[in-house]
Amino acid sequence: MESIKRKNLSTEKQNINSRAIDDKSISEILHIINSEDQKVAEKVKEAIPEIEQTILIARDAIRKGHRIYYVGAGTSGRLGVLDASEIPPTFSTPSYFFNGIIAGGDKALRQSIEGIEDQPETAIDDLKSVKLKANDVLIGISASGAAKYVKSSLDYGKSIGAKTVYLICNKEPFLSVNSDIIIKINTGSEVITGSTRMKAGTATKMVLNMISTATMIQLGKVYDNLMIDLMAVNDKLIDRGTRIIVQLTGVHYELANSKLLDADKSVKTAIVMIKYSCSKDEAIMRLKNNKGFLRKVL
């Protein structure tokens, strides 16, 4: 019975556009893959209302001191870890704002651990180990909605009062979950039947980008479309931060760079110091009084 139900998943169906792909030239293969990939963004667009709801609860949770967790197995888990790990350097946030949990732990980031997604009991242990709490936000990721690990995670999260979001890449999940929000990206059949690392993986990455990026924008981490809260920890980011200061204040590069260093490499603080000809401490206070929103300060 389970096999009959599983074969009805759109991600398990054979893609008529990639039939006989093994008999195609490299160029033909690439055009087929590219053509299928172009369909993904439109499917993501259809789920924007649910993605927006997710961002609202994520933003409010962080404002109240709660945390965001991505949880998944295999490719889904890796994408969650990837997105979460990029938030601190991009927006100078604490590493605990966004967290990625993958079934099987760090080892599963580098190699496939077959069968781990079918072990629901490990999910609860993993969530207890990170001390998931009520009003944290738990985003379960599963292309087919068939990962027992993810279902168990969401069920446990719901039971302790966490906000839950189910992100799938099918019309309906294989395993139903009583989550607060369900994001359904119906990416359809894959170029290689069942290989959800392809279109489903692309869609998942797009959605996670939207969730984390829009949440950070809502928290004042971006001015215009500039990365004003980047963590200037290397030469590339110090240069980028300096150029942002030049762009927003009109001062020359050398002065901008000097102010950035005076501001402990905080781009936002350096901009306020220049605009108001004030000390670092005064700039920090002006930002604090406006909850970190540079636009309000300026």
Mean pLDDT of 103-123: 88
Angle, vertex CA 254, rays to CA 250 and CA 257, nearest 5: 90
Among residues 218, 244, 268, the one where a domain terminates is 218
- Indicate whether 208 and 253 sit together in one domain: no
148-197 confidence digits (pLDDT tens): 999 999 999 999 999 999 999 999 889 989 999 999 999 999 999 999 99
pTM, two decimal places: 0.93
Domain residues for 164? 7-218
Residue 147, CA distances (Å) to 116, 159, 188 in order? 9, 19, 18
Among residues 161, 193, 218, the one where a domain terminates is 218
Mean pLDDT of 120-149: 96
Judge whether 224 lies within some domain. no
Which pair of tokens denotes residue 174? 């294989």
C-beta of residue 169 within 8 angstroms of C-beta of residue 200: yes
Instruction: Classify strands 137-141 and 98-102 as parallel, antiparallel or unpaired.
Output: unpaired
Judge whether 229 lies within some domain. no
- Indicate whether 203 and 239 sit together in one domain: no
Q: Which residues have a catalytic role annotated?
A: 86, 117
Which pair of tokens denotes residue 274? 């220049």
- Indicate whether 168 and 248 sit together in one domain: no
Given this model, what pLDDT does residue 2 score? 58
Separation CA 282–CA 83 (nearest Å): 34
* 112 pLDDT tier (thresholds 50, 70, 90): confident
- Indicate whether 167 and 278 sit together in one domain: no
Among residues 183, 218, 253, the one where a domain terminates is 218
Which CATH number goes with the domain that contains 187? Answer: 3.40.50.10490
- Indicate whether 200 and 262 sit together in one domain: no
Given this model, what pLDDT does residue 103 score? 94
Q: What is the rounded end-to-end Cα distance, in angstroms, of the chain?
A: 62
Q: Which residue has the tokens 């929103």?
A: 293
- Indicate whether 137 and 27 sit together in one domain: yes
Given this model, what pLDDT does residue 1 score? 42
Separation CA 263–CA 169 (nearest Å): 44
Helix intervals (H) in the chain: 2-7, 26-37, 40-46, 48-63, 74-91, 107-110, 120-129, 148-159, 199-218, 235-249, 253-262, 267-276, 280-289, 294-297
- Indicate whether 63 and 132 sit together in one domain: yes
Which letter does DSSP use for residue 15 in this model? P
238-291 confidence digits (pLDDT tens): 999 999 999 999 999 999 999 999 999 999 999 999 999 999 999 999 999 999
Judge whether 42 lies within some domain. yes
C-beta of residue 69 within 8 angstroms of C-beta of residue 102: no
- Indicate whether 153 and 33 sit together in one domain: yes
55-96 confidence digits (pLDDT tens): 999 999 999 999 999 999 999 999 999 999 999 999 999 999
C-beta of residue 156 within 8 angstroms of C-beta of residue 189: no
Looking at the chain, the whole-number percentage of residues with pLDDT higher than 70 is 99
Four-CA torsion 80, 110, 112, 30, nearest 10 degrees: 80
Query: Quick check: 11 pLDDT over 50?
Result: yes
- Indicate whether 99 and 136 sit together in one domain: yes
- Indicate whether 56 and 186 sit together in one domain: yes
Task: State residue 101 phi and psi, 5-degree precision.
Answer: -120, 125
- Indicate whether 31 and 160 sit together in one domain: yes
Separation CA 4–CA 182 (nearest Å): 23
